[in-house]
Amino acid sequence: MARTIYILLFSLLALGCSKIETTKKTTFSNPILKGFYPDPSICKVADTYYLINSTFAYFPGIPVFKSDDLVNWKQIGNALDRPEQLELEGLDVSRGVFAPAITHHKGIFYIVNTIVDGKNNFVIQATNPAGPWSNPIWLPKVEGIDPSLFFDNDGKSYIVFNSNPPNNTPEYDGHRTIKIIEFDAKTNNTIGEAKIIIDKGAKPEDKPIWIEGPHVYNRNGYYYLMAAEGGTAEHHSEVVFRSKHILGPYKSYENNPILTQRDLNEDRENPITSVGHADIIEDKYGNWWGVFLGCRPYDNNDHFNTGRETFMAPIKWINDWPVFDLQGDVVKKKYTIVVDSKTTISSAINKSFQDNFNDKKLGFDWLFLRTPLKKWYSISDGKLTINTRPETTSGKSNPSFIGYRQKHLFGYAATKLSFKATSENEKAGLIAFQNDKHYYYLCKSIRNNKPIVQLLKSTENSTEEIASKSILETDSLSFKIQAKGKYYDFLYALNRTDWLLLKENVDATFLSTKKSGGFVGTIYAMYTTSSGGKSNNKAVFDWFKNENKK
């Protein structure tokens, strides 16, 4: 009998050890998505996680990422990847696709979203998150921004969204509300009228501004409404409310905000700022995590060019309230997470990148400025050929621009170009672009029928030359934009290795949102234009590289 008990205990211990050995603790690095990936929304299906972000006036819209461990992310598609899904012509760069939210229910993925200055709010569906996604189904009764879809246990579903104040009469600038409206997932129509469930924000007496980005969760008999507050700059935050009923009334957590960095010393080392606009998820091991946007400034004046990025931190539950567990006051660059014992941390999506254009199609992470209504580029024999067209980045149409996010505070973007201008209006090269009034353009052109390399800086409606150099005509040359925090260097080479400096220590803060405004990050793009004139020219790019230094 004793031997039997011993064997049983040994077996149980062995099972326990086996279970322990299937997982391990490791660390991940923030941001989990570097560069212009703001407003994250996340969902979990079985043991797989899916995450999406805002793209504003860039096409394709709404990148879709997949992960098995919340650490290693891979882009599997874009939800708005067909021109008929996304009309962006005439929109400012920071308009268009605001704050999408992803949900899964009974085998169907849903994204609800806003096209600001477009047709406003819509829902799209897919059975495979990699696509194809449906064309937008418009929701005219969802009249605000930042909609999020929630499926309740009783079979009903609801959309919550940022909206107007009572009677459309704000008491102060930034006075907004959160509304809720029932949604019929079978017909993709809303039901009844929207109801205000949050007015002003977490502490109405303090006149909070811009309550937005709401999400609803159901746990332990409570409905939780989580939302961003305070605007998307340094005063950004995340707050939470709860109720026993989906329609409210909702009680504000007494220790709101549950996430912010606005009260910290501005001189702290390596700050992460502007945190908020969060979504939370329970992982497959029973741990909770929050994804949120944040910024990495390169000085104490909150200048940053990499845009609003996606970060992640643990969530702990205190008296049935979700609170970000930052393990101190500041958002950390590393946190510990439980993963499968076989998991290796690659974070490949955040490392150096090179495209030699050997595939027939562009990768998912390339961006166009607004929707290309015609195909003006081609890929063959390891080369990307872009037609030189009249449209410019100073306008509000779709220029001959194919871009990649600046992901690193210190690093560079480089490309090799074959191009011979036939007029001074024709240019081709590499641009560091923030918006139509804030960019630097390193390009090849001609002056007095002689080839030159130019560095142009945007003005209110056009450009000014801030550096130039005469060169001998050559079949190809390379361009490099070197990021050094608050400075850029602009270089060129008649071959790939012997770089010549055109201009150094150019003010990078000119491309920061602190100076340019808006909600996007800097994009490095291969770009050619005839500056409004007619052209039959083409620019041929052999490769593009984005190197991470820091």
Task: Report the first-to-last Cα separation within the chain, whole angstroms.
Answer: 64
Active site residue 39: yes
> What are residue 56's DSSP bridge partners?
97
Strand-pair category, 477-484 with 487-493: antiparallel
Write the DSSP assignment of 434-469 as a string of letters: EETTEEEEEEEEEETTEEEEEEEEE-SSSEEEEEEE
Of the candidates 287, 281, 291, the one whose C-alpha atom is nearest the C-alpha of residue 336 is: 287
Per the structure block, which two tokens stand in for 435? 């918006």
Element (H, E) at 490: strand 487-493
The CA distance from 389 to 215, in Å, is 43
Nearest CA to 403 among 389, 392, 416, 413? Answer: 413
Based on the residue annotation, tell me whether 84 is a catalytic residue of this protein: no
Question: What is the biggest distance separating any 2 CA atoms in the chain, rounded to whole angstroms?
Answer: 102
DSSP label at residue 165: P
- 25: its two tokens: 């603790």
Q: Of 39, 81, 229, 436, which is the active-site residue?
A: 39
Tokens representing 19 are 């279970």
Please state, as a whole number, how many other Cβ atoms lie within 10 Å of the Cβ of residue 428. 27
Please pick, among 69, 81, 182, 212, the residue that the annotation labels catalytic.
Answer: 212
Which among 306, 312, 307 has a CA at the least distance from the CA of 292? Answer: 312
Query: Which residues have CB under 8 Å from 514's CB, separation 6+?
Result: 301, 302, 303, 304
Name the residue among 440, 428, 426 with its Cα closest to residue 394.
Answer: 440
As annotated, the active-site residues are 39, 212
